[in-house]
Structure 1
């Protein structure tokens, strides 16, 4: 069974690739607003552990999600290659902390395979668009829009709404 994204897309899509541990992931480059070095965040009380907090990005309060924690990977120390990818998803701007940004790759539909059954995986299949094949590497393609706007990530919106209400 093929995913809709793997067969119904334009001839080629560009992905920003990044690493989390030993795995390489990709997100649609059109969702990326900017890439920044990791900076200190303001922690929100009672926020889920994967929400590191918020940053002030040129006057806009932006929630920051640690993708290692979100995907249930082992904890890693933040270092000089740790970056924050600022994304435009839904009606919000969201920061995503990753180990490192790799490259921008163009993949045509022929190089994207369907998502295999991932029973017991920390990543729900519905948040993946496929597996990109690049030379000898495999790239896990994330539907970042669906992931960040999902009900479970809706906690980001609730936490921000509470913060904005307190500030008013």
Structure 2
């Protein structure tokens, strides 16, 4: 996993703020850490769950899947560019869009769908060993049967022709 220092350096180099040999001041890194925590909280609120834990210092690990790092670096570069007077190139914007798509793919959980109670289970699979005992799921069977006799009659005011 990458550290906050590695992510910050990579982001700031993308917007031409930090040369590889020129370090930033500690307060500039604190601003970046604050922005990173806020950005990751926003992703979490949007349903993009990457497993990120809040960081406090440059040595902290960025706890996200490795595949999400490119997107975080590029999007954080764009996020902080105005604060540092950075330049957002077309290549950076493209990397940010592609990275965001990857983060969405990695971070969105697909929930199991629930079958409606009116869904027929079909014939031939009414075996008690499978836990199936009827053509419909039991909790709404009474609602499915419209008539008290179990037969469906002709509706009122219908044309027979």
TM-score range, shorter chain: under 0.3
Pick the structure with greater CA Rg: 2
Q: If each structure's strand is expressed as a fraction of its own residues, which one has the higher value?
A: 1
TM-score norm. by structure 1 comes to: 0.24
Q: If each structure's helix is expressed as a fraction of its own residues, which one has the higher value?
A: 2
Instruction: Identify the structure with bigger relative contact order (alpha carbons < 8 Å, sequence gap 6+).
Output: 1
TM-score norm. by structure 2 comes to: 0.25
